[in-house]
Amino acid sequence: MISKKMEAALNEQIAVEAGAHFTYLSMATWADAQGLEGTANFFFQHAAEEHEHMMKIVHFIGEVGGRALVPAIKKPEEQYKDVLDACEKAYAHEQQVSTSIYKLVTLAREENDYVADEFLRWFIDEQREEEVLFMRIMDRIKLIGTGGQSLYYIDKELARAHAEAEAAEAAEGEA
């Protein structure tokens, strides 16, 4: 059912999603070591989401007659200047993931693979949401700064964002 070219490209996307998972995991452990519990939980949640994205692709490849491959992953960065730095890097990473998804959509259309094209629409919406989320977070951080009291507020904001995302996921699960 799936062309070898599309299968290979989706396997490359598995590596992209796994890399995103470990990038966010690294950001979470960095934030945790800084005593930023809300920020750590926010990034732990994003790590889990990226793992979920990876698994969606793994299962899709199998469903359409291909074979998903386990990728080697480059070790992510471990240190960040501050929360703004981590968020800027997360935003840049999300933009790279978006570009990768767009290339997959282009390939699916070139291959007349309507099943893959439809499958990838969910990822397009997800990437838009992620980019907007990080743009808004960066705007808030730039507005209030990264000093001591500001950092406390930022951590609380990211904890709130984490709680909202969990509530949205729970609501989706009930629907």
Torsion of the alpha carbons at 108, 109, 114 and 116, rounded to the nearest 10: 20
Digit-coded pLDDT (tens) for 36-70: 999 999 999 999 999 999 999 999 999 999 999 99
| Distance from the first to the final alpha carbon of the chain | 31
Q: What's the topology of domain 4-174? A: Ferritin (1.20.1260)
Digit-coded pLDDT (tens) for 121-140: 999 999 999 999 999 999 99
Phi, psi torsion values for 78, nearest 5 degrees: -115, -15
Classify the phi-psi angles of 122: left when phi > 0, otherwise alpha if psi is within -120 to 50, otherwise beta.
alpha
Digit-coded pLDDT (tens) for 91-103: 999 999 999 999 9
DSSP state of 146: S
State the DSSP H helix or E strand holding residue 29, giving kind and residue range, or none if neither: helix 4-33
Model pTM score: 0.91
Please list, in sequence order, all residues whose beta carbon lies within 8 angstroms of the beta carbon of residue 168, skipping any fewer than 6 positions away: none
Q: Where are the domains of the chain?
A: 4-174
Cα–Cα distance, 131 to 16 (Å, whole number): 16
Mean pLDDT in the chain? 93
Please list, in sequence order, all residues whose beta carbon lies within 8 angstroms of the beta carbon of residue 148, skipping any fewer than 6 positions away: none
Closest-CA residue to 77 (of 127, 16, 26):
26
Q: Which residue, chain included where needed, has tokens 């969606």?
A: 56
